[in-house]
């Protein structure tokens, strides 16, 4: 074969073009979410639209500064300041959490969530990737607004350090609300609608509180967020714990049923209670009482969703606990899925909260809400705990009713609350119908509402409240017998399999 007829060597394929938009050490879920999120209409439209609005307002403010009248300069400055913080609040506190509220639902509708679970990505990496991605986009929106903050420094004599502190405050609130949105994106549609309404009401209240701070009025609120060095660590501490709860709740919506995240969810309110005695020891009584009541509200919020759960434990979830000794068994009984385990945990956590409340209020007996207030606080804790346990007892007694357990549970809270309001209205109306009010003052959950607002009640009502609360809790623990028998059956099967030399059954 001569050289003219020889076949030319095959051409080698060009090397693949590897995109370098993100470094390789970033988590793959975060890179995926950033690539998708930065191209969505929600992010691009928000970025471009708010930039155009702020550009027009800045030109108006600059033109007003060149006018000779002081009233025109003050009006332009007020308009620029108001729109700057309003746009920043909408970006951080409404748009970003709203995008999170549909994050998991988009994965479920696109049938990509199961594919993500089948990869090496676990539920934690999926949720954290989405949360960090949304926060990164919020930071980009915030950075894009900072040039207008510099302009306000020259036009309005704004304090840059104070303004940056307020921006950090809004970013922290955005992190908490975004985590709450990710949790809500994995629940039922009706619950998402209710969460969106609750988030809107919350944002109206937050903006009403932050408004004086942004405008420089309102006393203490007008100061820098870094002015009170004692309150700031507690605020950061509480925000971190709330964010952790929402994130682990979002993980529970994505994780397989065999994974158990109940311990981490339930332990957060207990850990949130610990700073209260330390604040009291260092003389910050008001801060200690505030932390005490915040932890109580957090504990009640967590128990609401834990007691509404009708999940049953699986053998692997209990096996790791009972094989490690008595102390591990005790912890395991309080950290398994299902309302019976949440009931046991709630009883222990409520008793611990009452003990801490007595210690905090007794350290400052002369202060408002001191030692004399401790028995009333303990009584409120008993009524509150029995009130949120009562719907779980209804669930266990009405298992054959074809109604959603969650709907049944929250109906057991909403109906007594509604009847309490109706009975109070009838008692204060021109008919003076007080019999229904006296009855509702002793019923579960409504007794807590009446005791929370009433200063003095008759001894007969108080005794009836205690009797009803003890009966509800006794019936609740009685209804958990089948749950604990199931755990004993898990142990018996594992023991029989171990004696036979076989692997434990799942």
User: For residue range 146-177, what is the model confidence (pLDDT) as tens digits?
Assistant: 888 887 777 777 778 888 888 888 899 899 98
Split at pLDDT 50, 70, 90, the class of 388 is very high
Comparing 55-69, 171-185, 384-398, which segment has the lowest mean pLDDT? 55-69
pLDDT of 207: 53
pLDDT of 149: 81
pLDDT of 219: 40
Split at pLDDT 50, 70, 90, the class of 312 is confident
Residue among 477, 316, 319, 469 nearest 379 (CA): 469
pLDDT above 80: residue 274: yes
pLDDT of 14: 58
Q: Which residue has the tokens 């993500």?
A: 116
Task: Using the Cα atoms of residue 339, residue 341, residue 347 and residue 350 in order, give the sign of their dihedral.
Answer: negative
Task: Using the Cα atoms of residue 295, residue 296, residue 299 and residue 301 in order, give the sign of their dihedral.
Answer: negative
Q: For 436-461, how does the pLDDT look when each residue is reduced to its tens digit (9 = 90+)?
A: 888 888 999 999 988 887 667 788 98
pLDDT of 112: 66
The residues near 402 (Cβ < 8 Å, ≥ 6 apart) are none
Residue among 21, 42, 30, 8 nearest 130 (CA): 30
pLDDT above 60: residue 497: yes
Distances (CA, A) of 83 to 50, 89, 165, 222, 328: 10, 10, 18, 18, 56
- Torsion angle of C-alpha atoms 367, 371, 375, 381, degrees rounded to 10: 50
The residues near 391 (Cβ < 8 Å, ≥ 6 apart) are 307, 308, 408, 409, 410, 411, 412, 413
Q: For 193-236, how does the pLDDT look when each residue is reduced to its tens digit (9 = 90+)?
A: 666 666 666 555 555 545 554 444 444 334 444 344 457 788 88
Full-model pTM: 0.81
% residues pLDDT > 70 (the chain): 76
Taking residues 368-396, report their average pLDDT.
83
pLDDT above 50: residue 359: yes
């Amino acid at each position: 074969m001569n050289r003219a007829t020889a076949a030319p060597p095959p051409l080698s394929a060009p090397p693949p073009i590897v995109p370098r938009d993100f470094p390789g050490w970033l988590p793959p879920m975060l890179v995926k979410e950033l690539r998708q999120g930065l191209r969505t209409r929600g992010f691009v439209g928000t970025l471009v639209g708010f930039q155009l609005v702020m550009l027009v307002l800045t030109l108006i403010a600059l033109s007003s500064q060149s006018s000779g009248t002081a009233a025109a300069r003050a009006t332009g400055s007020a308009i620029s300041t108001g729109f700057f913080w309003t746009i920043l609040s909408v970006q951080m506190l409404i748009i970003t959490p709203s995008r999170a509220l549909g994050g998991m639902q988009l994965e479920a509708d696109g049938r990509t969530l199961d594919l993500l679970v089948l990869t090496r990505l676990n539920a934690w990496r999926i949720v954290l990737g989405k949360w960090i991605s949304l926060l990164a986009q919020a930071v980009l929106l915030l950075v894009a607004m900072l040039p207008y903050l510099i302009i306000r420094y020259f036009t309005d004599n704004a304090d840059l350090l104070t303004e940056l502190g307020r921006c950090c405050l809004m970013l922290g609130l955005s992190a908490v609300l975004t985590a709450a949105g990710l949790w809500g994106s994995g629940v039922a549609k009706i619950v998402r609608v209710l969460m969106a309404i609750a988030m809107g009401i919350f944002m109206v209240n937050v903006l009403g509180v932050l408004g004086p701070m942004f405008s420089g009025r309102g006393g203490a609120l007008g100061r820098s967020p870094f002015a009170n060095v004692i309150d700031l660590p507690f605020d950061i501490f509480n925000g971190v714990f709330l964010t952790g709860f929402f994130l682990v709740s979002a993980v529970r919506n994505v994780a397989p049923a065999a994974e158990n995240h109940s311990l981490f969810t339930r332990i957060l309110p207990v850990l949130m209670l610990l700073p209260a005695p330390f604040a009291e020891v260092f003389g910050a009584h008001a801060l200690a009482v505030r932390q005490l009541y915040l932890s109580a509200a957090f504990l009640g919020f967590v128990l609401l969703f834990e007691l509404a759960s009708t999940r049953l434990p699986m053998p692997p979830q209990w096996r790791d606990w009972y094989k490690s000794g008595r102390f591990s068994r005790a912890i395991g009984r309080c950290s398994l899925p299902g309302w019976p385990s949440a009931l046991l945990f709630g009883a222990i956590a409520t008793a611990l909260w009452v003990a801490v409340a007595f210690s905090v209020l007794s350290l400052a007996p002369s202060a408002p809400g001191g030692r004399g207030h401790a028995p009333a606080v303990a009584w409120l804790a008993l009524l509150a705990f029995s009130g949120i346990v009562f719907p779980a007892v209804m669930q266990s007694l009405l298992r054959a009713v074809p109604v959603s357990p969650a709907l049944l549970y929250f109906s057991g809270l909403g109906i007594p609350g509604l009847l309490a309001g109706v009975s109070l209205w009838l008692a204060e109306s021109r008919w003076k119908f007080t019999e229904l009010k006296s009855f509702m003052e002793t019923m579960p959950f409504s007794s807590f509402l009446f005791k929370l607002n009433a200063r003095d009640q008759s001894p007969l009502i108080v005794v009836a409240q205690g009797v009803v609360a003890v009966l509800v809790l006794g019936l609740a623990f009685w209804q958990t017998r089948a749950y604990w028998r199931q755990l004993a059956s898990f142990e018996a099967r594992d023991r029989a399999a171990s004696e036979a030399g076989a692997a434990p059954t799942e």
